[in-house]
Structure 1
Amino acid sequence: MTSSGGERCRQSVARSFGRRFRDQGNETDGTRSGAAFGPLTAYWVSGDPQIARRTPPVGRRPPNRLKLCMQIDGEATVRQNGHPVHILPGQMALYDTRHPYDLRFDRRWSCIVLAFPHGALSLPDNVLRQAMRQAHSFCEGPGAVLADFVAAAMEQRTSVGTSAGRLGEAGLHLIAGALGTTGQDGEEALADAQRLQVLGYIREHLADPVLTHDRVAAVHRMAPRSLHRLFEREPHTVTEYIRMRRLESIHRDLADPMLSHLSIARVASRWCFTSPAHLTRAFQARYGVSPSTVRRTGSPGTS
């Protein structure tokens, strides 16, 4: 981006976000406000120069979440796994809360931080690793679409009501669109493209009871062993990914007041879980709570 383009970007960011959030407070020791949109949580954060350091948690499981820092004012540097990424106003950077990281702010700053489960973007692990190695613009292209969505969602956060979860799902798709280009070429880029195609097919056919590893392989004209090799370095196999996405769909529907007229069994069957005992075990293992607890309280559990 040229210097004039960068200045236009900063002015656009100030107009888009500043008018919405500068009334959040101006205390010198930092301010924070946030809103939850189903699986996606957004925070407006500001403060004075500081270093925020996350170290490995002792005696407890680390949070399984990714965070996307969208820099509004000031500059920041996020360092993870020994690799620093410098973030200017109008840029954003992705980092993984499962691993230690430092966030450095050298002067007065403000940013929006989006937090979401690690597997929520439906992007191959290699694409996520590449995305974490550089800053991304939210002044142009898919990033600008994401920025407009975030600004509007935060402004309307008190009035979205039962639509919050669906807005969060939309936001995750926009994040994936903004980060889902690796900039690679050659065989690895081809493999990433194949993985994206497979994951997209799975998302579109989650409610199909015949959706299995072998079915996905056949649709994509691959041998089952070839599909297994394609995902052998990913955190989940195809079968695990299908189960995880179906559980997420059940969780979302159980927490949705608009679907409260459907029984738990009916919701589960929509996503191909026909055994109540199997559902309860799998759901409890993933979220730490039972399906009935989510239906009763809307509790998100822990993923």
Structure 2
Amino acid sequence: MNGAFAAPVAPAESVSSLIARNISEFRAAVSQSFVPLQVSSDGPDHFRGVIRGASVDEVHVTEVRATSHVVERTPELIARGDRSYFKVSLMLAGTGLLIQDDREAVLHPGDLAVYDTDRPYSLVFDQDFRTMVVMFPKHLISLPSDMIGQLTAVRISGQEGLGGMVVPYLTQLAGNLDQLAGTTGARLAHSALDLVTTVFTRELGLDEVSADPHRALVQRIRSYIDRNLASTDLGPATIAAAHFISTRHLHGLFQEQGVTVSTWIRTRRLEQCRRDLLDPMLADRPVAAIAARWGFVDAAHFSRAFKAAFGVSPSEYRAAH
């Protein structure tokens, strides 16, 4: 028995665990844990797999161990779904091949890769393996989807640069899934997303002086907005002035991304409020105070905007989680 299956399945009430004795059980399990997928194996009679997973605040963290098989996300399966996710895989043992958007990435232990459930992809494992997958809705990450699309099926090494800092954290998270159900679970999950976002930013060259000036300006503006969400003065005029451009130019930059400046600001503020509502350290803080903390001066307007974005009122959202 090699390293992919060396660790036992740790029983934990907060972690769902499933041992698949055949390919049919595994296919059903991965489709339930992630999105609908086609799974096949050259040796279905000898197949085995283990899936352990935990979820918090729409972030799904799953450890998968299995014998050789192929996973496919087909156009037909994509058409059945109504949710858009990114998946980040960290190879822990064995090797895997990820194919998406006419790119291929061979992943070895310590390597990261991202893929998009809205577009077809394949995963090929020709030996026993162990991997960790972080799946999350696209709205949880601050980078535009089209930018992330430049990184699908691109190998990101965990042996150097930022990857060398992020991979140990994700590896520890994979080995301590029960912690996601604790009082700090939401913070752990979002720390993982923040680290992954930082890696993506570096891989896209958005933090480099030599980056394309147009793209670099957009990133600087987005960063400025995030740093100033609490300011009630934040708006097109102040943002444009801070970057020495006209408001017309600013609106044009955001129109290229398919969103208005005001919508982007509101979305980022709502996301920060949503995180605070889930934070046990802020459980005693009134909803109105959380809204004001992130620049919403009108509590009624905030409540309407929150319900429009997430389907329930802020108080209902906090109570449900």
TM-score of the two chains, using structure 2 as the length reference: 0.76
Structure 1 residues 152 and 83: CA distance shift in structure 2, 3 A: closer
Range 132-141 or range 114-123, more displaced? 114-123
Q: Distance in 1 between matches of 2:250 and 2:70?
A: 43
Partner residue of 1:224?
A: 247
Contact between 1:62 and 1:97, CA under 8 Å: does it hold in 2? Answer: no
Partner residue of 1:24?
A: 9
Mapped pair 1:182 → 2:204: yes
Q: Distance in 1 between matches of 2:57 and 2:235?
A: 27
Partner residue of 1:201?
A: 224
Partner residue of 1:140?
A: 160
Partner residue of 1:150?
A: 170
Q: Distance in 1 between matches of 2:209 and 2:289?
A: 46
Letter of the 1:281 counterpart? R
Deviation at 1:133, TM superposition (A): 4.8
Spell out, residue by residue over 1:81-131, the C-alpha distance to the aligned partner (whole angstroms, 9 max, x if none): 344333233222111122332222222221111122313332244531222
SS in 2 for 1:32: strand
Residue 149 (structure 2) aligned to one of 129, 144, 148: 129
Partner residue of 1:46?
A: 65
Residue 140 (structure 2) aligned to one of 116, 120, 137: 120
Q: Distance in 2 between matches of 1:89 and 1:236?
A: 38
Partner residue of 2:187?
A: 166
Contact between 2:115 and 2:153, CA under 8 Å: does it hold in 1? Answer: no
Spell out, residue by residue over 1:141-164, the C-alpha distance to the aligned partner (whole angstroms, 9 max, x if none): 111111111122333443463222
The RMSD of aligned alpha carbons is: 2.9
Residue 281 (structure 2) aligned to one of 258, 265, 275: 258
Following superposition, which runs of at least 4 residues in structure 1 exceed 6 angstroms of deviation? 184-188
Q: How many residues align?
A: 281
Deviation at 1:45, TM superposition (A): 0.9
* Highest RCO, 1 vs 2 (Cα 8 Å, sep ≥ 6): 1
Contact between 1:77 and 1:103, CA under 8 Å: does it hold in 2? Answer: yes
Mapped pair 1:90 → 2:75: no
Q: Distance in 2 between matches of 1:49 and 1:285?
A: 44
Contact between 1:38 and 1:166, CA under 8 Å: does it hold in 2? Answer: no
SS in 2 for 1:137: coil
Q: Distance in 2 between matches of 1:60 and 1:274?
A: 40
Q: Report 1:51-90 matches (<5 A).
A: 51-56=70-75, 62-90=82-110
* Structure 1 alignment gaps of length 5 or more: 1-13, 299-303
* Structure 2 alignment gaps of length 5 or more: 11-18, 21-46
Contact between 1:162 and 1:257, CA under 8 Å: does it hold in 2? Answer: yes
Partner residue of 2:270?
A: 247
Q: Distance in 2 between matches of 1:265 and 1:217?
A: 29
TM-score of the two chains, using structure 1 as the length reference: 0.80
Deviation at 1:54, TM superposition (A): 2.3
